[in-house]
A and B are shown apart, each in its own frame.
Chain A
Amino acid sequence: MTHVLPVVVVGWVLLSLPQGVHSERPGRDVVLHVTATSPEGRIVTNLTAADIEVIDEGTPAHVISVEPAAAAVRAAVIVDQSSSMRVSKSRFVQEMRILGSHIRAGDSLHLLKMAGTVQSIGSATDADAWVQLVTSSFGPNGSTPLWDALAEGLLSQAAEGRRVIIAFTDGRANGNFHSATTVMERALAGGYLLYFVSPPDNDGVDAPGMLRPGTILDQAATATGGLHVALTDTRTEAFRGAVSRIFQELRGQYVVTFRSEAAAGEFRSLDLRTSRPGVVLRARTAYESRIPNPESPNRRIRPIPGIP
Chain B
Amino acid sequence: MRGGFNRTPVWSVGLLLALWLLVPSAPHAADQVLRTAVRTVYVHATVTNVGGRLEPNLTQADFEVLDNGERQAITVFEAGRVPITVAMMFDTSGSMREIISVLREGARHFVDSLRPDDRAVIGSFGDEIAISPHLTGDRAVLHRVLDQELWPGGPTPLWKAIDVAMNALDGETGRRVVLVFTDGGNNTRLFRGEADDVTSASLLRRTRDEEFMVYVIRPRRDPGRRGLRDFYDPLLDLVRESGGGFLDVDEDLRDIGSAFSRVAEELQHQYLIGFSPKVLDGKVHRLQVRVLRGGLRARARTSYTASPE
Q: Point out residues on A near B: beta carbons under 8 Å.
A: 82-84, 139-144, 172-177, 179-180, 202-210, 213, 308
A179 to B150, CA, bound (A): 14
**Complex interface residues of chain B between 108 and 160 (CB less than 8 A to chain A):** 123-124, 126-134, 144, 147-154
Q: Pick the contact of B193 from A84, A140, A173, A308 — CB < 8 Å?
A: A140
With both beta carbons as reference points, the residue of chain B lying nearest to A201 in the complex is identified as B153
Say if the beta carbon of B231 comes within 8 Å of chain A: no
The bracket for how many chain B residues form the interface is 20 to 34
CA–CA, A213 to B194, complex, Å? 25
Q: List 11 A-B contacts (CB under 8 A).
A: A82-B128, A140-B194, A142-B191, A174-B130, A174-B151, A180-B148, A204-B154, A206-B97, A207-B96, A207-B152, A209-B101
Decide if B153 touches A204 in the complex (CB within 8 Å): yes
Chain B residues lying within 8 Å of A177, measured Cβ to Cβ, are 133-134
Q: B148–A176 contact, CB under 8 A?
A: yes
What 6 pairs across the A-B complex have the smallest Cβ distances?
A140-B193, A204-B153, A209-B101, A143-B130, A204-B152, A174-B130
B298 at the A interface (CB under 8 A): no
* Interface pair B149/A204, CB less than 8 Å apart: no
B191 contacts A204, CB within 8 Å? no
Pick from B98, B132, B153, B194 the residue with the most CB of A within 10 Å.
B153
Is B100 part of the binding interface, using a Cβ–Cβ cutoff of 8 Å? Answer: yes
> Do B101 and A207 have beta carbons less than 8 Å apart?
yes
| A180 proximity list for chain B (CB < 8 A) | 148
Whether a CB of chain A sits under 8 angstroms from the CB of B7 is: no
Q: A84-B127, A143-B129 are in contact. Are A173 and B148 (CB under 8 A)?
A: yes
Q: Which residues of B contact A175 (CB under 8 A)?
A: 123, 130-133, 149
Check: B192 CB closer than 8 A to any chain A CB. Answer: yes
Beyond A83-B192, A204-B152, A308-B148, whether A144 also contacts B101 by CB under 8 A is no
Q: Does B94 contact A (CB under 8 A)?
A: yes
> Could you tell me the distance in whole angstroms from the C-beta of B105 to the nearest C-beta in chain A?
9
Which residues on B are within 8 Å of A, measured CB to CB? Answer: 92, 94, 96-98, 100-101, 123-124, 126-134, 144, 147-154, 191-194
B contact residues around A206 at 8 Å (CB): 97
CB–CB A208/B98 < 8 A: yes
* Cα(A172)–Cα(B128), bound, Å: 10
Would A207 and B97 count as touching, CB distance under 8 A?
yes
A142 with B128, Cβ < 8 A, contacts A175-B149, A176-B148, A179-B144 known = yes
Chain A residues near B127 (CB, 8 Å)? 83-84, 172, 202, 204
Contacts of B123 in A (CB 8 A): 175
Chain A residues, Cβ within 8 Å of B98: 207-208
- Other A-B contacts than A83-B127, A143-B130, 10 sampled, CB-CB below 8 A, are A140-B193, A172-B153, A175-B130, A175-B149, A177-B134, A180-B148, A203-B152, A204-B126, A207-B152, A208-B98
Residue in B101, B130, B133, B134 whose CB lies within 8 Å of A210: B101
Please tell me if the beta carbons of B191 and A83 are within 8 angstroms of each other in the complex.
yes
Query: What A residues does B129 contact at CB under 8 A?
Result: 83, 142-143
Contacts of A139 in B (CB 8 A): 193
The distance in angstroms between the C-alpha atoms of A210 and B153, with both chains bound, is 13
| Chain B residues, Cβ within 8 Å of A173 | 148-149
Shortest Cβ gap from B150 to chain A (Å): 8
Nearest opposing residue in chain A for B155, CB measure: A83
Beyond A173-B148, A174-B124, whether A144 also contacts B94 by CB under 8 A is no
Q: How far is the CB of A187 from chain B (nearest CB, A)?
A: 16
CB pair A204 B97 closer than 8 Å: yes
- Cβ of A208: which chain B residues have Cβ within 8 Å of it? 98, 101
Q: How far is the CA of A140 from the CA of B133 in the complex (A)?
A: 20
A203 with B133: in contact, given A82-B128, A179-B148 (CB under 8 Å)? no
Minimum Cβ distance to chain B for residue A185 (Å): 14
Instruction: Find A83's partner among B97, B128, B152 (CB 8 Å cutoff).
Output: B128
A141, A172, A180 — most chain B CB neighbours (10 Å): A172
Report whether A174 and B134 are in contact in the complex, using a CB–CB cutoff of 8 Å.
no
For A84, A173, A207, the residue with the greatest tally of chain B CB atoms inside 10 Å of its CB is A207
- For B131, what are the chain A residues with a Cβ–Cβ distance below 8 Å? 143, 175
Q: Are A210 and B149 in contact (CB under 8 A)?
A: no
Could you tell me if A308 and B101 are in contact, using CB atoms closer than 8 angstroms? no
Most buried by A among B133, B192, B194: B192
Looking across the interface, which residue of chain A has its beta carbon closest to that of B129? Answer: A143
Closest CB in chain A relative to B146 CB, distance in Å = 10
Return the chain A residue nearest B127 by Cβ. Answer: A84
Rounded to whole Å, the gap between the CB of B143 and the closest CB of chain A is 10
| Interface contact B152-A174, CB-CB below 8 Å | no
Task: Give B182 Cβ to nearest chain A Cβ, in Å.
Answer: 16
Query: With a CB–CB cut-off of 8 A, which chain A residues contact B94?
Result: 203-204
In the complex, A203 Cα to B151 Cα: how many Å?
10
Contact of A84 with B128 at beta-carbon distance under 8 Å, contacts A141-B191, A180-B148, A203-B153 already known = yes
CB of A11 to closest CB in B, whole Å: 45
Q: Which residues of chain B come closer than 8 Å to A210, judged between CB atoms?
A: 100-101, 152
| CB pair B149 A174 closer than 8 Å | yes
**Whose C-beta in chain A lies nearest to the C-beta of B144?**
A179
Q: What's the Cα separation between A204 and B92 when bound, in Å?
A: 9
Check A308/B191 contact, CB under 8 A, given A83-B127, A84-B127, A84-B128: no
In angstroms, Cα B98 to Cα A276, docked, is: 47
* Max chain B Cβ within 10 angstroms of own Cβ: one of A82, A143, A177, A308: A143
- In whole angstroms, what is the CA distance A290 to B11 when docked? 89
